[in-house]
């Protein structure tokens, strides 16, 4: 699709993204500086909030180049922030990982692949599972987790894992319902996707889940949904 750089409506839609992201980051910084909010919760505000940017891009019908460019800029900023304290609210958690950088990479890949295929909702599924599934799982696990387990050195709770599973299924079902309606495939696709996303998240190391969960979730949702619709039409 050709883009007119004099299209004021397009630039207005593009401007919505940095305003939204800036609001999320500012909220996190205010919480970090002026409240005693758990640093992990502050980080999850950014994690969940910025993940919604791909949903915003889908709803605003932003072109592929906007997503890729935004992801590159976000990736550069996050790499710099590991050296300079420009995002203390985001990086205030004690552990060190490249999770935030991988998050930006995931958004770039999702838009580069699925926007070009004119199937952006699969990219939305991948990122939202990471944003909401992983984000809420961490919060629920820390707040209410009473049954811990360890896998590959990662300490998890069954409460958090179950949250990841349920939220992942809900996201797949809601997004597909908005696209293809109330057909049986809509409610089936989320089952394997939720199981795989939860398993991948539970074994990931060094923040790689921010990359592996979106890629595996979006890819599997695409393969399963296209197969079921192609071979078992409504």
- Partners of residue 154 on adjacent β-strands: 151
* Domain ranges across the chain: 8-231
Given this model, what pLDDT does residue 41 score? Answer: 84
DSSP code string of 16-75? HHHHHHHHHHHHHHHHHHHS---HHHHHHHHHHHHHTHHHHHHHTT--HHHHHHHHHHHH
Tokens of 23: 């609001």
The backbone torsions φ and ψ at residue 148, rounded to the nearest 5 degrees and listed phi first, read -80, 155
Distance between CA 126 and CA 46 in Å, rounded? 17
- Its pTM stands at 0.90
DSSP-derived pairing of the beta strands 148-151 and 154-157:
antiparallel
Nearest alpha-carbon partner for 42 in 74, 81, 88, 104: 88
User: Where is 150: in which H helix or E strand?
Assistant: strand 148-151
User: Where is 139: in which H helix or E strand?
Assistant: helix 135-144
Q: What is the pLDDT along the chain (234 residues), one digit of tens a residue?
A: 444 445 668 888 999 998 998 899 889 888 888 888 888 888 888 889 999 999 999 999 999 999 999 999 988 988 887 777 666 666 654 455 678 889 999 999 999 999 999 999 999 999 999 999 999 998 999 889 899 898 888 889 999 999 999 999 999 999 999 999 999 999 999 999 999 999 999 998 888 899 999 999 999 999 999 999 887 766
Given this model, what pLDDT does residue 81 score? Answer: 79
Secondary structure class of 92 (helix, strand, coil): coil
Given this model, what pLDDT does residue 189 score? Answer: 97
Residues 163 and 136: beta-carbon distance below 8 Å = yes
Given this model, what pLDDT does residue 1 score? Answer: 41
Distance between CA 19 and CA 78 in Å, rounded? 18
Tokens of 66: 């906007």
Distance between CA 206 and CA 98 in Å, rounded? 7
């Amino acid at each position: 699709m050709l883009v007119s750089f004099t299209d004021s409506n397009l630039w207005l839609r593009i401007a919505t993204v940095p305003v939204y992201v800036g609001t999320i980051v500012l909220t996190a910084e205010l919480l970090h500086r002026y409240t005693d909010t758990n640093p992990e919760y502050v980080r999850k505000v950014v994690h969940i909030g910025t993940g919604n940017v791909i949903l915003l891009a889908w709803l605003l019908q932003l072109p592929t180049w906007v997503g890729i460019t935004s992801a590159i800029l976000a990736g550069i900023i996050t790499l710099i922030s590991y050296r300079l304290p420009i995002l203390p609210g985001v990086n205030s958690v004690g552990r060190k990982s490249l999770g935030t950088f991988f998050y930006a990479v995931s958004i770039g890949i999702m838009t580069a692949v699925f926007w070009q295929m004119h199937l952006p909702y699969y990219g939305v599924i991948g990122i939202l599972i990471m944003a909401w599934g992983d984000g809420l799982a961490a919060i629920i696990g820390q707040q209410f987790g009473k049954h811990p387990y360890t896998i590959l050195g990662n300490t998890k709770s069954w409460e958090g894992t179950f949250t990841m599973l349920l939220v992942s299924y809900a996201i797949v079902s809601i997004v597909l319902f908005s696209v293809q309606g109330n057909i049986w495939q809509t409610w089936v696709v989320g089952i394997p996707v939720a199981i795989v996303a939860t398993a991948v998240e539970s074994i990931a190391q060094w923040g790689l889940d921010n990359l592996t969960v979106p890629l595996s979730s979006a890819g599997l949702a695409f393969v399963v949904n296209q197969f079921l619709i192609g071979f078992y039409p409504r």
